Every structure is written in C-alpha cells, then in structure tokens.
Structure 1
Amino acid sequence: MDSIFHEKQEGSLCAQHCLNSLLQGPYFTAVDLSVWGEKLDEEERVRMAESGEESEEYRNFLKQPSGNMDDSGYFSIQVISKALQVWGLEIVPYTSADERVKDCDPSKMQAFICNYQNHWFTIRKIGNQWFNLNSLLARPVLISDTYLALFLAQLKNEGYSIFVVFGELPPCTADEVIRLNPVVPPINNTPSCEEDPELQAALKLSLSQEFEEPANSEEEELQRALMLSLSCDNDEESNLRKALLMSMDNA
C-alpha cells in the first residue's frame, strides 16, 4: 500500500486531506481552499446586497462568521465542490434521486466523500480495490466490494452525509501498481456481521427501508441466489450473505 497517497490528519485540515486523498496527490493546500472560501463568501455578500445594503438582513449577514470556512481549517461542502470543479469532477448526494445514484451498486462507483460533524474523508477505488482513506487512520484500510455497501449503510445510520464523485479522476501511480499487485487482506480484516452489533443495526435499518413492500420476483430470485451461495461458508463474503439473508427474512 506504499504507493497509495494518504495524508494524515493535521489540525482541522480534513477537507484538504480528503481532496488530496481523492485525487491521489498534494493538489490542494489550505491556502487554495481559503481562496475558494473567500470567493464564495463574496458571492453570497453580493446576493444579500441585492436586497439593499441598508437593510437589517444585510447588516446581520455581515456580522455573521463565514459559513464556508473558519480559522480552524474547516471548509464547507460548497468549497469542496468548487475545488473539484477545477478537475471536472462533480459530487452528488448518495441519497439523491439522480438516476446515476438511484438504486446504484456502490461497488460500481469510483469514490465517495463522507462528512460528519465537520470531518471529511474519502473512500475510493484504487486499481480494482476499495480503500478507506480517512486521514484519522494510520494507513489506508482495504474494503471488500461485499463489505462496501454495508459500510456505507453503517455510516448513513450514524448520521454521515455521503456524496458520490462523478467525472474522470486524474491518473495516479497507485492505480497501476495495485491493479498489477492487488492488496491481500489480512486475516479477520473485517469483522463479520454476527460479531458487529453496530453493523447489524445499520444493516437491519437499511434493509427495513428497502424491503417494506411485498417481495417481487426479483427479490425472490435474490433470496434464492443468496441461499445457494451459503453452501460456501468459509469466508467473509459468506458471513455477509448470511446476515443479508437473515435480515431479509426478518423484513
């Protein structure tokens, strides 16, 4: 994993770390993001001034701190979006009705940006494998395709805002290195659903929303496929399939 670019947490610059991990290089600094924050602040000031610079609403706006950045190094989703537009990238909420994300298979995407309580981090596919590039982690953490959807469901259940990244990411060395030399997951890299109560709760909540309506033929076929796959009960994916099947039965 040495080829993966992974910025460690410095101060409150998680937005910078998130963007650079996504792009796989030191593309942005706090100064760069501050420039975008100031531009957004000015655009908001101009819009507010249209109602009259003598209005109470405008004067109150000027007294408020910036909603796009602060002295700690925090930057808003608007700043992140503007920075990504430089690279022709777009972010769409994971829960959006946009056809690109509606009922999508997360493993078919290329990257996610997650936020909770002012902390930003990236989940990205590098080569043909997924990695959690959270700057609070000591190193990138491998996420299997099977576990990815459950991990996102857990984050959503915990209150995270999740955004899907669209557009062509810049080429990076790690893509080719990991494609040719896939990372081998360590034993027990990911806890099974039976051993992770938080993941079980997130999974049940997610599935209860997805299977409120009576099962149709496609869902029945999925259940039969999952039941058939349980004959191979020797790895992480088998454990996850068991949990999925049990949750669907309960639903």
Structure 2
Amino acid sequence: MTTKKEARIYWEKQTLALCGHHSLNALLQGPHVSTQDLQKIADVLDEAERKLGLKDENGPSENVDVNTGNYSLQVLEEALKKTFQLKLTSVFKRTELNEAAKNKAFLLNAHQHWFAIREIRGQWWNLNSQLAAPSKVNGEIVWYLESMIQRGTQVFAVVGALPQAHEIFGQKDGEYGNWIAESECEEMNEIMARAEREGKTVERVKEEMKEEKKRKMIFSGKANTLRGGDSTNNNNDDEKDDDDAIVIDDADIGVDRNEDPELYAAMKASLEEEARKRKKNSKSVGFYGGSKENREASGRGGGQRQEGTTWQSLGKENGNDNNGTMQLEQEPDESPDTLSVAVRLPDGERLKPRRFRKSNSVKDVENWIVSESNAKVTFKSRGGDQCLVLVHFPKRTTLDDPGKTLEQCGFENREMLTFA
C-alpha cells in the first residue's frame, strides 16, 4: 500500500513518437522540458541550417517530425545544455563505460527509440517510456550497457551535474508524466509481465493479484491486531470471551474502503473470522503449547514456569532429551554465508530477527524459537503439532524435515517464517 512518504520516481508513458521528450524528463527526474521548449530549439536549428545552405528554404525539418514529434539528437543535446549545462558523449566500448558510469546517467537509442537509464537513490533504473513503469536494472550497470552496445544500441553518457531526484510526493506532474512510488513500479511491471506470460488481460491479472493479496495477508497473520470491545451479557465466561467485539484496523486490511468497497468488505470479514479462530484456540493452548488437561496433569497450573527451569530442561520436559541439541551457537556475524530469520508466532507476536548460517538446520531455528518464545510452541519434531512455514508467495513450503539445512530449504538472505 503506497504512502505519501514513499520515495517516488518521475516517469513519462510513451505518446506518439515523443520518446526523446520523455527520455529527457525521465533523465532529469522532473518535467523540466516542455514540448514548446523542444519545438523552439528545433526551429532555431532549422534556421541555422538554412543560413548555412544545408537545408532547402521550404524543405521539411530534419530536427523534428511534425506528425509524430520525434526529435533529433541535436535537439536533445541542446535541451540538456540549456536546462542544466549537461552534454552527451558517445560510448563505444567497455573501457569507456567504466569511466562513463561515474556520471550516473545514460541516454540510449535502440532502433530509433530514445530512453534513459539513471541511478536514483543508489539504484539504477531503466526509464524507458515503452515499459509498464520504471524498471530496476539488476546486476552491474557496465555489463548491462555493454550488452546493449553489442546489440546495436547507441549509448551516450550524460556528463555534468544532474538535478536532484526528489524523494517526496507532491511535485508537479508533467505534460505526459507523473510521480510513481518505487513499490508501484515493481507491481506494475509484474502485472504486465504476468499478463504477457499467461496470455491474459492486464485487468484480469490485477483482479487475480488482488485476490492473492487477500490470501497473503491472511497467511501472514495480519488478523492479529485486535481490540477487545464490549462483551455480551452471558453467564458462561468462555462464551462471553468468544462474543467480545473484534475490531480489525484498516491499516491491517490494506485496501482503501472507498477505492474497492467489495474487496475491503471481503478482506475485513476474512480477517475477523481468522481472528476469532485464533482467539478461540489461544484459550485452549497454554504457555507450553499443550492442552489445559495436560497442563493440569503435569502440575504446571496456569502455565507458570517452574523455578529454575532452563532452556535445556524445557526441551526435556517436552519429550526432547536429546543431549543438548537445544544448545545454539553464538549468533554469527553478517557474511555471505549467513542469512536473517524473523518469525511471527501463532499468537501474532514477532521475534526479533536473528542471523543463522546457511548450513544451520531447521532444528536449529526451532530450538531458537522455543527459547525466545518461552516455549509457547511445540514442534512436531518434539511431539507437538506445529511446523514452520516458509512463504515465497504464492508458494508456501512446510519445513517438516528438521534435519535439512536452511540453504536446502530455499532460504534467501532475509526470511519471515509463519506456522502451519
């Protein structure tokens, strides 16, 4: 969900053959150049060429196509010079690219189509007006540009001090463009790529992604932001608790009620139902994750930890006397061989992220969770009924083999785990 504070990118969608116009404003990150500005430059260049005898008096302009608005390289160069004293330098080989990349922006021409590539807030972006939205350039920019040159694309380095790429919402939109949140850029490109890949309309894909977002929010446990309301007048305490009003925050629903009232209502109903289930289950599960009867039988009372209970003894109490497998090594320093794991517990509580080695096992993560949660959960590997779930939406992988390493399970650099 986009917020006004989220960093935004200025971008213009292709209109007629105005790619040169679009590429300049995208490169400058703002509507700095107008159609009128470019037409004036083209007229001046045309007049200069007539005076030099390079152009017939009544001949067509070679600096602008009057039907489509396609501008020549000379017009674009002059526009950059007049607005921000920038100049263009042709780049032909890798050795030139290494030096040129320090300038943080390029203007490219592929098959008579102009587009810009610029570094914005530490990330290189392809600002091509023919895309669905600005797209991140992954990998090393020099390799990317070299591959473009090999395919016959003309590459021009932009030399000089570029204007600042603004980060806040509220700047004036241009003739053909507007400001797009970075998260929206990724979403729009994903929609377009999926539509092309699956042979569906963009609108159909948008509807499908809305439904997937709804399911994802439920999977992620966002129904846990609850506020107790007035209870009903019922003598049975359990029934009274069940009838407490459950209120879901609009922020947790993640959909504007005015923008899409039907999806908003469906999301709210689903989250309320999920919240009721969690609340009901939490009453029958004690501090150690077992039933109320088991807690009473074992003499643990209301789930209070016995004096002197240790992390290691907790494992033994849960039928897990495994000669110290509850021990965890010291948290490793950040390195290419480590990754970060965060966990959302069944009751909605989040554990502070911890680093693990990629070679650590699922059991190591389980041990950490048991310790940090004060044994709120009992895993199947310890005779309980709970398993961790790795979510790479829409795929959900149940981590039911405690012996597997995190790398074997498909963990990436940062992961959030939930419960089955």
Query: TM (normalized to structure 2)?
Result: 0.37
- Which of the pair has the greater relative contact order for Cα pairs under 8 Å at 6+ separation? 1
Q: Secondary structure at the match of 1:5?
A: strand
Pairs within 5 Å for 1:154-165:
154-165=147-158
In 2, Cα distance between the equivalents of 1:132 and 1:121?
8
> Is the alpha carbon distance of 1:38 and 1:135 closer, same or farther for their aligned partners in structure 2, counting shifts above 3 Å?
same
Q: Which residue of 2 aligns with 1:36?
A: 41
Q: Does 1:75 align with 2:68?
A: no
Q: Deviations over 1:51-84 (max 9, x none)?
A: xxxxxxx6x7335421111121100010000000
Determine if the alignment matches structure 1 residue 19 to structure 2 residue 3.
no
Other structure's SS at 1:6 match = strand
Q: Which residue, 147, 167, 184 being the options, matches 1:174?
A: 167
The equivalent residue for 2:98 is 104
Structure 1 residue 156, shift from structure 2 partner: 1.3
Q: 1:149 to 1:172 in 2, by over 3 A?
A: closer
Task: After TM superposition, list the pairs within 5 Å mapping 1:143-222 onto structure 2.
Answer: 143-146=137-140, 148-174=141-167
**Amino acid in structure 1 at the alignment position of 2:147:** Q
Cα 1:102–1:152 change in 2 (3 A) is closer
Aligned to 1:65: 60
The DSSP-based 3-state class of the residue aligned with 2:52 is: helix
What letter is aligned with 1:92? Answer: T
Query: 2: distance between equivalents of 1:24 and 1:8?
Result: 14
Q: Structure 2 CA distance, aligned partners of 1:150 and 1:92?
A: 18
Inter-CA distance 90–46: structure 2 relative to 1 (3 Å threshold): same
Q: Which SS does the other structure have where 1:42 is aligned?
A: helix
CA contact (8 A) 1:133 1:141 kept: yes
Please give the residue correspondences for 1:66-145 in structure 2 after superposition, counting only pairs within 5 Å: 66-71=61-66, 72-86=68-82, 87-95=84-92, 102=96, 104-105=98-99, 107-145=101-139
In proportion to residue count, which structure has more strand? Answer: 2
Preserved contact between residue 111 and residue 164 of structure 1 (Cα < 8 Å):
yes
Kept in 2: contact 1:126–1:174 (CA 8 A) = no
Q: Distance in 2 between matches of 1:74 and 1:6?
A: 18
Does structure 2 retain, via aligned residues, the 8 Å contact 1:114–1:163?
yes
Deviations 1:188-244 (A, max 9, x none): x9xxxxxxxxxxxxxxxxxxxxxxxxxxxxxxxxxxxxxxxxx98xxxxxxxxxxxx
Alignment partner, residue 411 of structure 2: none
After TM superposition, the score normalised by the length of structure 1 is: 0.60
Conserved in 2, the CA contact under 8 Å of 1:13 and 1:30? no
Matched, 1:6 2:11: yes
- Number of aligned positions between the proteins: 171
Question: What percent identity do the matched residue pairs reach?
Answer: 35
- Return the alpha-carbon distance in structure 1 between the equivalents of residues 116 and 71 of structure 2: 15
Query: Matched residues in 2 for 1:158 and 1:74: separation?
Result: 22
Structure 1 150/132 Cα, relative in aligned 2: closer, same or farther at 3 Å? same
Unaligned runs of 5+ in 1: 49-57, 176-181, 190-230, 233-251
Per-residue CA distance 1:105-164 (angstroms, 9 max, x = gap): 554331000012321100000011100000001111111352x22321222122211100
- The superposition leaves residues 76-113 of structure 1 with CA deviations (integer Å, 9 ceiling, x where unpaired) of 010000000011101100128xxxx7362554331000
Gaps of 5+ in 2: 1-5, 169-181, 191-335, 338-420
- Which 4+ runs in 1 deviate beyond 4 A? none
Report the CA distance between 1:26 and its aligned residue.
0.9
Partner of 1:206: none
Q: Equivalents in 2 of 1:92, 1:17: separation in Å?
A: 19
Whole-angstrom distance in 2 between the partners of 1:164 and 1:103: 8
